[in-house]
């Protein structure tokens, strides 16, 4: 009960403080519109369907990029796990690419791919593929030696060993990587839409800023945070909740 009160009290206190600062005259309402102006702007955009369209566009992009990242990360992790030669060949290029901020690649991607969906998907993949890949690879490498010995003594085929021992052992790391990867995907998408998009929540923010509509900018920012929080909570409850009883590491 106390935790629920704290969860509710914190946003309420923030709203009260926000309203007090906005109405005190210390800060112009143009720079920091009061909550009621932001709510009004949100309702207007919802009524016109503008906000929903931007949300759906961003969600479609982020899930496309995220699924591509999961596919690439899983396959590269498997290949590098089974082939030490391949791991040595790709480890340095991957480490170098991982250190480059995805948004720093945006100008080059725009030159190559133009301002469109391909550029945004590329930025999402560059941002999210590495945490997924590293966690999957770490999970595959953490298979206990006694499991390998048991599989060898039982004469398990490589396929059965992979299916019934390696994958279950790697589940905690896989779930962690996927959760982190989606968070990176969401943040990278918004950054990409600020630069190279004609629709989406990031575009809504930059377009509103250029039109000097601070209340609409606030709507976009708060919508991004709310959707990101809801998706992360949903993933934790639905996916993590079902396997936490078997893999306590996931809860951590």
Confidence of residue 245 (pLDDT cuts 50, 70, 90): low
| Domains of the chain, residue spans | 1-32, 33-250
* Domain 33-250, classified CATH 3.40.50.720, yes or no: no
Q: Over range 64-68, report the average pLDDT.
A: 95
Report, in angstroms and rounded to the nearest whole number, the Rg of the chain calculated over CA atoms. Answer: 22
Backbone angles phi and psi of 29, in degrees to 5: -65, -20
Q: Could you say which DSSP state residue 142 is in?
A: T
pLDDT higher than 80, residue 166 = yes
Distances in Å between the alpha carbon of 227 and those of 55, 58, 233? 9, 10, 10
Q: Which long-range contacts (CB under 8 A, 24 or more apart) does 6-9 make?
A: none
pLDDT higher than 50, residue 53 = yes
Per mean pLDDT, which range of 162-171, 175-184, 234-243 is the poorest?
A: 234-243
How many whole angstroms separate alpha carbon 106 and alpha carbon 99?
15
Confidence of residue 250 (pLDDT cuts 50, 70, 90): very low
How many whole angstroms separate alpha carbon 143 and alpha carbon 82?
13
Confidence of residue 244 (pLDDT cuts 50, 70, 90): low
pLDDT higher than 70, residue 233 = yes
pLDDT higher than 60, residue 249 = no
Confidence of residue 251 (pLDDT cuts 50, 70, 90): very low
How many whole angstroms separate alpha carbon 223 and alpha carbon 219?
6
**pLDDT single digits (tens) 200-229:** 999 999 999 988 899 999 999 999 999 999
Confidence of residue 20 (pLDDT cuts 50, 70, 90): confident
**pLDDT single digits (tens) 1-15:** 566 666 677 787 888
List all residues 6 or more positions away from 77 whose beta carbon is below 8 Å from its beta carbon: 133, 136, 137, 140
List all residues 6 or more positions away from 27 whose beta carbon is below 8 Å from its beta carbon: 21
Which H/E stretch holds residue 133? helix 117-141
pTM: 0.84
Percent of the chain with pLDDT over 90: 43
């Amino acid at each position: 009960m106390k935790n629920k009160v704290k969860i509710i009290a914190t946003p309420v206190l923030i709203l009260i403080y926000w309203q007090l600062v906005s109405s005190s005259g210390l800060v112009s309402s143009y720079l920091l519109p009061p909550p009621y102006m932001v709510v009004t702007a949100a309702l207007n955009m919802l009524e016109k369907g503008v906000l929903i369209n931007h949300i759906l566009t961003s969600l479609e992009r982020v899930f496309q990029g995220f699924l591509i990242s999961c596919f690439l990360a899983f396959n590269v992790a498997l290949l590098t796990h089974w082939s030490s030669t391949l791991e040595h060949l790709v480890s340095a290029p991957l480490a170098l690419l991982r250190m480059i901020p995805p948004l720093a690649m945006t100008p080059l991607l725009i030159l190559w791919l133009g301002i469109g969906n391909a550029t945004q998907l590329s930025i999402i993949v560059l941002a999210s593929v590495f945490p997924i890949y590293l966690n999957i690879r770490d999970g595959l490498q953490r298979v206990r030696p006694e499991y390998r010995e048991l599989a060898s003594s039982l004469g398990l085929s490589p396929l059965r060993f992979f299916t019934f021992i390696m994958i279950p052992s790697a589940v905690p790391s896989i779930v962690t990587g996927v959760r982190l990867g989606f968070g990176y995907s969401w943040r990278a998408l918004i950054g990409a839409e600020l630069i190279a998009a004609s629709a989406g929540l990031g575009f809504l923010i930059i377009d509103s800023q250029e039109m000097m509509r601070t209340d609409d900018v606030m709507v976009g920012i708060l919508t991004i945070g709310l959707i990101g929080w809801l998706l992360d909570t949903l993933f934790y409850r639905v996916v993590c909740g079902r396997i936490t009883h078997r893999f306590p590491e996931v809860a951590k």
